[in-house]
Amino acid sequence: MPEFEHVPENALFDKYELGRLLGCGAFAKVHHARNVRTGQSVAIKVIHKRKLSNISLMSNVKREISIMSCLNHPYIVKLFEVLATKTKIYFVMEFVKGGELFSEVSKGRFSEDLSRKYFQQLISAVGYCHSRGVFHRDLKPENILLGESGNLKVSDFGLSAVTDQIRPDGLLHTLCGTPAYVAPEILTKKGYDGAKVDVWSCGIILYVLNAGCLPFNDPNLMVMYKKIYKGEYSCPKWMSSGLKRFLSRLLDTNPETRITIHEILKDPWFSKGGYEEPKFHVKHDKDVFLLQVSSLNAFDLISFSSGLDLSGLFEDARDSASECEHLVSRESPEKLVEMVEEVAKGERLLRVKRKKEWGVELEEENGNYGIAVAVYRLTGELVVVEAKRTCGDAQRYRDTWNNKIKPALLR
The CA-based diameter of the chain, rounded to the nearest angstrom, is 81
- Considering 14, 138, 169, 285, which one is annotated as catalytic? 138
Q: How many CB atoms lie within 10 A of CB 361?
A: 19
DSSP character string of 258-323: SPPHHHHHH-TTTTTT---PPP-PPP-SGGGGGGG-SSS-HHHHHHTSTT---TTTT--GGGTT--
Q: Is 252 a catalytic residue?
A: no
Rounded distance between C-alpha atoms, residue 80 and residue 33, angstroms: 13
Q: How many CB atoms lie within 10 A of CB 26?
A: 6
- Dihedral (Cα; 107, 113, 119, 121), 10-degree rounding: -110
Contact 294, 300 (CB under 8 A): no
CA nearest neighbour of 390 among 364, 411, 356, 354? 364
Contact 80, 95 (CB under 8 A): no
Rounded distance between C-alpha atoms, residue 122 and residue 19, angstroms: 29
Q: Which amino acid is at 334?
A: E
Rounded distance between C-alpha atoms, residue 129 and residue 311, angstroms: 25
List for the chain the helix, strand, coil content (%; round to 5). 35, 20, 40
DSSP 44: E
Contact 118, 209 (CB under 8 A): yes
Contact 100, 154 (CB under 8 A): no
Active site residues per annotation: 138
